[in-house]
């Protein structure tokens, strides 16, 4: 669930007034989890945990035509089925080569990514030759652990090549950001055991079954680690049954807690009434046209929403978004609301929200760009924003308000003039670098592919007139000199290709 939607977690469970109580139907059970695995033998569990070595190539968004930076890392995975190794997405992201080593063996076996989900930091690998692993047990997915349960973290942390076992106790169940995508939040289980580099992707075991995948730690605290719990794992495994990974769906609302007594009086809520305020409805989201700002969300799929935005599932308080977390594109969710004091029942159909990926880190893809007469144009995303550290206030505002102001409806991409490769044809244009492109020859730019088409038309115009937001002076390039200048700058600066428009 994207962090662009406000999530505030605090516990307050109170009984409802008669008006609110009539809205709350019996809770609907989340979608039934799958059980894709065969039972495991605890004696052979460690043999089913493998070491993963990744050789990576990380794109450079400041020079999008370059090969990028070569690097590598170590992680852990475990066998869950016939030629199926589950691990973290961040262990294998941007990988050019993957090698898997069996416990107790020195032989390295080539593998490849079958499915990867950057939004929940999970990936499924398959080996080029599974025969050497065919005798190993398939680890079974168990239930989500409860508070104070003891668990074991199995993996290959840095500092050695041998398997490592760490014991811990479940100390918290929460809804937190997943650091890999830098925007998505999901259910997490906190344990009092460190998750060190190399542990990532390893199984967390309880009574011989997998109850989570180790994936991140907390830098500000010692012996604190986070694991991806079974509801997230099971959703990933269910999603890929279609032959592809389709991402999470979004509720598409911003909720605000109703702790403040004055706010509760304003909305005619008694002290013990549940519910949160609908503070915003995402444009083009699942709730658009159904919910309104000012509605009070009292229950979701029959699960009472407390004044902090939490619901009760399997005896644990979790964020209300957890209902949508366990559903898929096209699934329905029933909402019980109060609108101007009137009880109402609404039904929404869930769907993904692609514009939110603007704020997600991108992996496994070369940067998109196009060049023209020494000018370099790129679509704005988190990777580019972080690499370039843009200072222009108007561009920063476009980025920040991309969803709130529904900019995405007119502009799939915010195309930015990121670099100017100095040449006589583009002299004295330095003040335009780092600005968003508004139009080319009078036509509004919709995305990077559209910009490329406008800059490379079938019929050459007398002049190319490029207007950038935040600079009243347009860029003017003579049409009869553009092609020669483009080739000249590519050669002079060693730019290996003029554009990349496809991931």
Active site residues: 90, 121, 200
Which two structure tokens, joined as six digits, stand for 261?
Answer: 């007594």
Distance CA 202, CA 155 (A): 5
Cα-Cα end-to-end distance for the chain: 24
Collapsed DSSP state (helix, strand, coil) of residue 78: strand
Sign of CA dihedral 404, 407, 408, 412: negative
DSSP class of residue 335 equals: E
Select from 178, 497, 183, 454 the least CA-distant residue to 366.
Answer: 497
Sign of CA dihedral 27, 28, 31, 35: positive
Using alpha carbons, list the distances in angstroms from residue 297 to 131, 269, 314: 54, 12, 21
DSSP collapsed to 3 states, 358-382: HHCCCCCCCCCEEEECCEEEEECCH
Per the listing, tokens 């950057």 go with: 118
Distance CA 466, CA 439 (A): 6
Phi first, then psi, for residue 371 (nearest 5°) are -120, 155
Distance CA 498, CA 503 (A): 15
Sign of CA dihedral 458, 461, 464, 469: negative
Distance CA 48, CA 46 (A): 5
Within 27-149, strands assigned E span 49-58, 69-81, 84-87, 95-101, 108-117, 122-127
Sign of CA dihedral 284, 288, 289, 294: negative
């Amino acid at each position: 669930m994207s962090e662009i939607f406000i999530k505030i977690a605090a516990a307050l469970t109170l009984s409802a007034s008669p008006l609110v109580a009539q809205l709350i139907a019996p809770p609907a059970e989340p979608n039934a989890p799958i059980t894709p695995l065969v039972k495991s033998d605890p004696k052979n569990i460690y043999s089913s945990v493998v070491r993963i070595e990744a050789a990576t190539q990380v794109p450079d968004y400041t020079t999008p035509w370059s090969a990028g930076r070569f690097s590598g890392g170590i992680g852990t995975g475990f066998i869950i089925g016939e030629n199926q190794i589950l691990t973290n997405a961040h262990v294998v992201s941007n990988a050019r080569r993957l090698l898997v080593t069996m416990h107790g063996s020195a032989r390295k076996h080539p593998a490849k990514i079958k499915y990867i989900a950057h939004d929940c930091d999970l990936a499924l690998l398959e080996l080029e030759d599974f025969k050497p692993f065919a005798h190993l047990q398939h680890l079974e997915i168990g239930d989500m652990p409860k508070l104070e349960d003891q668990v074991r973290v199995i993996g290959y942390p840095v500092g050695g090549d041998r398997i490592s076992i760490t014991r811990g106790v479940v100390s918290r169940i929460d809804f937190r950001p997943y650091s890999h995508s830098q925007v998505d939040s999901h259910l997490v289980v906190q344990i009092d055991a460190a998750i060190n580099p190399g542990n990532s992707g390893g199984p967390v075991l309880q009574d011989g079954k997998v109850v989570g995948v180790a994936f991140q730690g907390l830098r500000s605290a010692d012996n604190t680690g986070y694991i991806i719990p079974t509801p997230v794992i099971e959703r990933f495994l269910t999603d890929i049954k279609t032959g592809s990974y389709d991402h999470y769906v979004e509720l598409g609302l911003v909720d605000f807690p109703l702790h403040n007594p004055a706010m509760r009086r304003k909305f005619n809520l008694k002290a013990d009434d549940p519910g949160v305020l609908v503070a915003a409805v995402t444009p083009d989201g699942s709730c658009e046209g159904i919910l309104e700002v000012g509605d009070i969300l009292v229950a979701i799929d029959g699960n009472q929403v407390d004044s902090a935005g939490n619901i009760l599932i399997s005896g644990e308080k979790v964020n209300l978004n957890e209902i949508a977390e366990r559903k898929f594109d096209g699934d329905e969710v029933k909402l019980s609301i109060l609108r101007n004091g009137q009880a109402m029942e609404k039904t929404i159909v869930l769907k993904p929200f692609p514009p939110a990926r603007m704020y997600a880190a991108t992996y496994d893809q070369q940067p998109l760009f196009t060049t023209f007469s020494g000018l370099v144009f790129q679509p704005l995303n988190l990777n580019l924003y972080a690499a370039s550290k843009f200072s222009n206030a108007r561009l920063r505002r476009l980025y920040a308000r991309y969803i709130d102001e529904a900019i995405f409806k007119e502009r799939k991409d915010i195309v930015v003039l990121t670099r100017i490769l100095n040449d006589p044809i583009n002299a004295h244009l330095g003040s335009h670098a780092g600005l968003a492109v508004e139009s080319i020859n009078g036509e509004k730019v919709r995305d990077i592919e559209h910009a490329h088409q406008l800059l490379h038309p079938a019929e050459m115009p007398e002049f190319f007139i490029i207007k950038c937001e935040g600079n009243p002076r347009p860029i003017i390039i003579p049409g009869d000199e553009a092609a020669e200048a483009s080739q000249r700058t590519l050669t002079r600066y060693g730019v290996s290709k003029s554009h990349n428009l496809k991931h």
